[in-house]
Amino acid sequence: MSLVKVNDEVSLYVEDTRKGTGGKPTIVFIHGWPSHGMFEYQFMQLQKKGYRCIGMDLRGFGRSDKPWYGEYTYDTFADDIEDVMTALDLHGVTLVGFSMGGAIAMHHAAKYLSSGRISKVIFMGAAAPCFTKREDFPYGLDKSDCDSLIAQSLNDRAKMVHDFIKIFFRSEDSQSQETRNWLFAINMQASPYATVKCLEELRDADLRDDMRKISERKLPVAIFHGVNDKICPFDLANVMNRGIEGSRLVRFENSGHGLNIEEKEKANDELIKFVDLEVPKQTGK
């Protein structure tokens, strides 16, 4: 592991399996709200197959600095990711974003596509292009659901996280109690401030322009989504699939939101298949 200093003198925790072998590409993972380091099943298998895997804890989460100042927006997170990739001199990586991390990956790819650091993106249970409904977007959760989570976070954050985990998987008993305890523990490591500010961003952000930019640039995109997702409904996957030309939609029939845990073998197999896929160079401006 290492600490990488980004804007505002914030240090981010970065887990890095180091160099891949056999010319295998690098894969960068972005976690969701309010967790960190959820990709151990992917790291263990992928690094054995020669892939370099990198995961970073976003500011405010996990083992990274947790400032009580500044913005906790997708734009801030996208800049942080670019700073980390610049520090590590990464090029041609596959960016994997889970849940809120999927929304961040979408914004990063749209903002920094010309840098050449990103060659492909995987949206995994992504909270994108909009996490909540609006007049011209009848998908996702109601904004009042986010308001309720914010109120619960301010009143009893531990209870909020406990209840959130109840709907994280396909069913309450589809994963062991130990797995749910582990997820609770890593979610509670998040800053209370970041927990609330990111809920506000999830509630308000609209990334449809970013989605269009990604489609126009012909960036190779795969969409992994649990059919039984109660947090980011499967309708969001269909919206992304329709909105991003040439994107690949992979259905996880036996998963809720936590597809990389519930169907870890399929997630790994599909990830490798997409990462290894030969694709034409990007076009457009």
| Cα atoms in the 13 Å half-sphere on the side-chain side of 21 | 6
Q: Which of 31, 107, 108, 257 is catalytic?
A: 257
142 is catalytic: no
Q: How far is CA 37 from the centre of its chain?
A: 11
Q: Is 99 a catalytic residue?
A: yes
Choose, from 35, 99, 247, 255, the residue flagged as catalytic.
99
Q: 153, 229, 247, 255: which one is catalytic?
A: 229
Residue type, 224: F
Active site residue 145: no
Catalytic residues: 99, 229, 257
